[in-house]
Amino acid sequence: MSTDPGVWIAAFLTMCILSFLYRDNPFYRFAEHLFIGVSAAYWAVYYYYNILQPNLIDPMFVQGQLLLIIPLALGVMMLTRLFPKVGWMSRWPLAFIVGTYAGYNLIIYLQSDALDQVTATLVSLVQVEAWQTLFQHPSFVNFLYAIGVPVVIMGVITGIIYFFFSKEHKGVFGGLAKIGIWFLMVAFGASFGYTVMARISLLIGRVYFLLHNWLQLI
Amino acid sequence: MFLLFFVLAQGVIDDVDVVNSTDLIEKSEAVHTIVQAPPTQIYTRDRANDAGGGIVVFWKKSEDDGAGRESVIEYHIYRGTEADGDFELVGTAKAGDTSYTDITTRDGTPYYYQVKAFDGEQHSSAAVSEAAYSSAQWFHTGRISMLIATILISTFVVWFINKAKRGHELYIRPIAGLEAVDDAVGRATEMGKPIMYVPGILDMDNIQTIASMIILGRVARKAAEYETAILVPCTRSIVMSAAQEMVKEAYLEAGRPDAYDADKIQYLTDDQFGYAAGVDGMLLREKPGAIFYLGGFYAESLILAETGHSTGAIQIAGTAQPSQLPFFVTACDYTLIGEEMFAASAYLSKEPLLLGGLKGQDWGKAIIIFLILVGVLLVTLGFTDVIGWLSTGQ
């Protein structure tokens, strides 16, 4: 067994968190509250040294960039929530944040989630090399490669059709929308399996810590 | 014969010795004095489509770059603020390159450039370029497609909003997850349990969180009407402030400002798994009758949804994170997939203005489908230029 007190504390807290698998209990509650408190304090200090100091305090009070008084004022207005009489002032910076980012993200998402995706989908339907490979070496995998592009394009179009909200999903349109949701579900299934494997590796990492670093059994 | 051969051979050896001892050293020194040909035709341009601070230097390759003596391994780019003043090294380009972008310039300052070919030991000579100035451009010519798309979609949205304003009735298809919102709140009320609303772990600068806040307003209003408590654990302080405002407003609208309790909307921690641990604990202790997970989620999604599922609560989730949707689909009763969540505000309120916006967006999607169909057809026929037309530039 390890003689390092830090490893013992980490092992104890790991066991406390894992005890949640049984049910809510005082050990889990202790670890939960400790985790929340310590992490909240950590992030408060982190934000001060990595956000406030380099972006506001140093440029304004050391370099004299007085224009930064605007974000400073908005920040102070956020804190007026602590005083009910002037708490209404905190709505202004909130409105500023929501409005600014809603407008800013419109362009960002239009580019990354719409036009760039359209451009990436513009691929020739006939992949000559893939078909040549299929005829030379007929197999199911090569068949999938050969029909890959048309399937992807069909998936994209029917997927978009599923997200039409102002038209009733019935008839041919409804059929295409149903194909679209099937494409989505197949993609979700693949993603689910992939991510679960990644999570298993996290569990293995924690079990390894307990058996190797703490108990030193392996 | 043997003697003659010996004499001749000795003579050759003597010659070699002589060459080795004197001439080779001189020739070797002579080789070092042969400098590779310099790059020529050096000219500069202000970097296009930028916010200033960039000048592109062009040159014609040295004759010894990839040809001639093939001795050039890279080019060294020097910069000065006076044509006959001091020059400093600002960057390098590998052999074969014919341009270099200097991104350390100050707009309005004249810069002169020299480009020298380098063989690993010595530099070629170099001419000095004309004075160059960097400047910012108002218009990014590479993003015309973005401009057209923005104008087109905005026009559709404004058009249909105006149409809705004139009283034109607009249809919106049923969305199962949103239809279940009222049922979920009602179920929690019947069970005498609170509602828990988890707005994700992203900040207010994320469009998913903004959409989540709008849905929270609707859920909170229903909760206020039914006199059911609503718990909103937050991972960002600004999200907590926004959530408090939304819930307070909803309670006011429902005529129950007295029932509003700001302490039910609380900040836990900015840490992802600290937040997950806290929400898990709350789920088991508070045992809500209905749980909403709406917003941006990452790895904590399954941890939360599984714990919520174990409490027996009805669960409605929604996110635009493709990697997390499978977990919500698996563990929740209803899942709003991507844009379904963004359509929620229009769907839940049925306000003509929002419905008009939704209709306009649908027309935008129709154009995207059209572009894909026509574009794929053209690319298949060999007209690959169409990809460049739609490129959004970087």
Question: Do B358 and A111 count as a contact with CB atoms less than 8 A apart?
Answer: no
Give domain status of residue B127, yes or no: no
Contacts for A99 with CB less than 8 Å, ≥ 6 apart: none
- Cβ neighbors of B136 (< 8 A, separation 6 or more) are B50, B51, B52, B107
CA distance A193 to A204: 17
Residue that wins the pLDDT comparison between A123 and B142: A123
Domain ranges of chain A: 1-64, 123-218
Residue B166 belongs to a domain: no
Backbone angle region of A108, left / alpha / beta, with phi > 0 → left and psi within -120 to 50 → alpha? alpha
pLDDT range class, residue B394, cuts 50, 70, 90? low
Q: Across the interface, do A98 and B242 touch by the CB < 8 Å criterion?
A: yes
Specify the 3-state DSSP secondary structure of B130: coil
List of residues 6+ apart from B58 with CB closer than 8 A? B41, B42, B43, B44, B45, B98, B99
Cα(B21)–Cα(B24) distance, integer angstroms: 7
Q: Which residues of B touch A191 (CB under 8 A)?
A: 322-323, 325-326
Does A119 contact B343 at a Cβ distance shorter than 8 Å?
no
Query: Using a CB-CB distance cutoff of 8 angstroms, which residues of chain A are in contact with residue B322?
Result: 187, 191
Contact criterion met (CB < 8 Å) for A35 and B325: no
Number of residue pairs across A and B with CB atoms under 8 Å? 177
Distance CA B240, CA B199 (A): 9
| Nearest residue, CB atoms, A166 vs list B268, B326, B358 | B358
Q: How far is CA B303 from CA A164, B279, B290, B293, B324, in A?
A: 31, 10, 17, 12, 11
Q: What CATH number does the domain containing B330 carry?
A: 3.40.50
| pLDDT-based confidence at residue A92 (cuts at 50, 70, 90) | very high
User: Could you tell me if B223 and B338 lie in one domain?
Assistant: yes
pLDDT at residue B56 is higher than 50: yes
Inspect the interface and report whether the beta carbons of A78 and B206 lie closer than 8 Å. Answer: no
pLDDT average, residue stretch A115-134: 91
Work out the minimum CA distance from B232 to partner chain A, whole angstroms.
16
Report the 3 state secondary structure along A90-134. Answer: HHHHHHHHHHHHHHHHHHHHHHHHHHHHHHHHCCCCCCHHHHHHH
CB contact under 8 A, B387 and A28: no
Q: Which domain holds residue B44?
A: 40-118
- Find chain A residues with C-beta within 8 A of B204's C-beta: 94, 97-98, 101
Please, are residues B105 and B81 in contact by the beta-carbon 8 Å criterion?
no
Chain B interface, mutation test: which of A45, A88, A153, A166, most B Cβ atoms within 10 Å? Answer: A166
Domain with residue B75: its CATH number is: 2.60.40.10
Q: What is the DSSP string of A27-94?
A: HHHHHHHHHHHHHHHHHHHHHIIIIIIIIIIIIIIIS--GGGHHHHHHHHHHHGGGSGGGGGGGHHHH
Residue A105: which of B207, B285, B340 has the nearest Cβ? B207
Q: Is B128 domain-assigned?
A: no
Count of domains for chain B: 3
pLDDT per residue over B75-86, tens digit each? 999 999 999 899
* Domain membership flag for residue B277: yes
- Which residue in the block uniquely carries the two structure tokens 């989540």? B212
Residue A18's Cα: distance from chain center in Å?
A: 24
Look at residue B346 in the predicted model and tell me its pLDDT.
83
B132 and B46 in contact (C-beta within 8 Å)? Answer: yes
Q: Is residue B9 situated within a structural domain?
A: no
According to the model, what pLDDT value does residue B22 have? 42
Q: What is the pLDDT of residue A149?
A: 93
B324 and B358 together in one domain: no
CB B207 within 8 A of CB B183: no
This model of the complex carries an ipTM of: 0.85
Q: Examine the domain organization and report whether B359 and B339 are in the same domain.
A: no
Residues B199 and B311 in one domain: yes
The sheet carrying B230-234 orders its strands as B265-267, B230-234, B195-200, B290-296, B314-319, B334-337
* B284 and B335 inside one domain: yes
Cβ contact B270:A43 at 8 Å: yes
Q: Is the pLDDT of residue B364 over 80?
A: yes
